[in-house]
Amino acid sequence: MEETGNIEKRVLFVLPAAAIHLGLVLVLGVLHVRLPYDGWVDRAVGYYGALSGASSAYSFFAPTVGPLLWATFEVRDRAGTLATEALETGVSREADLRVKNIVGMFWDEQDPAVRRSLVASWAAKVFAKHPEADSVVVRLETYDLPSMAEYRAGKQPRWNVEYKAKFNLKARVAAGEINKEATP
């Protein structure tokens, strides 16, 4: 009998908690209601939404899907050979999702200096991966999907260049020592 009482107590806790969570998913995530964050309740709900994912925008259910941001890198060596690659680990799907979240930080950031620093760090990662590289062009593009009505009318999905920066690797020989530095 004691076990039945424990199950009932758990149900009394879990069902209301699940209902509150689903309600917050509906209000914060699906309906995109933004709270003003004036009081402690608003802040608590905002923090809960951010930590639990309840405030995530579920735009993939919407009639118009938001653009997909993609980073590509054009690596050119001294011989002029060009190679293109994406910033992915290939280790696991989860690791690649994390990398895509980092690329998404660029999209969310408004400060041009921070954006430039982010892109420069990606270019440095590519230079480290390709020691023979002389230059790296970082391209951030969005894949723009038309709405269903636009698609039926003939509009095709397309890639739009949102940001492009070229980084050159300069080698200086000074006193028998080679110093390399990336310059935008």
Beta-carbon count within 10 A of 136 CB: 25
How does pLDDT run across 133-145, given as a tens digit for each residue?
999 999 999 888 8
The label of the residue with tokens 């391209």 reads 139
pLDDT at residue 5, rounded to an integer: 67
Instruction: State the Cα–Cα distance between residues 16 and 5, nearest whole angstrom.
Output: 17
Cα Rg of the chain, angstroms: 24
- Cβ neighbors of 43 (< 8 A, separation 6 or more) are 37
Helices (H) and strands (E) in the chain, counts: 5, 5
Structural domain spans, the chain: 2-61, 68-183
pLDDT at 148: 81
Count of beta carbons in the 10 Å neighbourhood of residue 62:
12
